[in-house]
Structure formats: structure tokens, C-alpha cells
Amino acid sequence: MRLSKLTSVAVITMVFVLSSCSSSVDRPDKKSIVYQEFLETKILPDGSKIFNFSLVMPKRNKTGEGYQENEASISDTQKRDGDGQRKGGKGNKQGQKKSGEGPRSSESKRGLKIDALQTHFQERLDKLKILKMFCREGYFILDEFVDVKQISIKAECKDGASSDDYTKFTKAS
């Protein structure tokens, strides 16, 4: 009798241990990344058309719940032209190691995060139908800011504003 109680307690304990190890609980740090997008179009008095597009990963507040906007300013880092393709020298990105430096895991992780964000940013930029309507002949990048949690560009359309563009893309006063 005593052996069967001990055996049943051991079996029940093993069931709990194994079931807790095999269950996959969603942890907040493993959730899919949600980005906020911002697009601003503007037609200047001379008829040139510019736009700002930003992709921002909101950062968690101190309690870990909810998100707040990640603020950053736009700075000139890398240029793109035409259809958004990069031009000029590649330079040394912040996430890449400089010659003579040993590997650093935090720098390589930062570089991977930036690369993933840039890939997602370019995919979103290519899929924006409103942008294709605004810049019918393509655009060239005037300014770009790249960080682990944000990418922003300021660009000018290759084509000038038509009367139809003024109707579609300007606010009525």
C-alpha cells in the first residue's frame, strides 16, 4: 500500500513537470513586432512634391505594458535614389565591425536588427499604393535616418505636381 501511494505521487509529479516543460506560453518578449508607420506628403509652392515616411517600433513603457512612441530626429546617413535603391559608398554601418576590431555580440545583434528593419522598411515602402500615386515617376532620397527601432526618409518625387495632384494631396482650407 505504501509503495503504491509513493508511486502515484511520483507519477503525478512527473506529469506536472513534463506538462509544464512542454507547454509553450507566449511571453511578451517573443511576440511579433508591431511597427507604426507615418507618411506625410507635401506639395511645395514651386510644384515639387516631397514626402516623409517613417517606420517606428514603439518601445515598451517601464511596466512592460503598452507602448510609447520612440522619438528620433532625421539625419543624413545613407542616400537612395530613383526607385529607392541605395547609391554611393556603403561606408561603415554602426552595426558592422570596423577593421581591426574583434567580434562583439551586441554590435552584431544591433546590425542584424537594423538589417531586418531596413528590409521590412523597403518592403513597406514598395507596397505603399498612395506613394506610387504621389510619385508616379519615382523619387530620390534627400535624407535618411536609420536606428535599431526606427527608419525615416525624406524624399522628393521626380515628377512635378499636376492639377490632379493638388486636388488629391492638398488639404482644403
- According to the model, what pLDDT value does residue 60 have? 60
DSSP codes, 55-93:
EE-PEE-TTSSSEEPPP----B---EETBTEE-S-----
Residues 29-43: tens digit of each pLDDT: 555 678 899 999 999
- According to the model, what pLDDT value does residue 110 have? 83
Are 35 and 56 in contact, with CB atoms under 8 Å apart? yes
Domain ranges of the chain: 32-165
- According to the model, what pLDDT value does residue 96 have? 42
Lowest mean pLDDT among 35-39, 71-75, 143-147, 166-170: 71-75
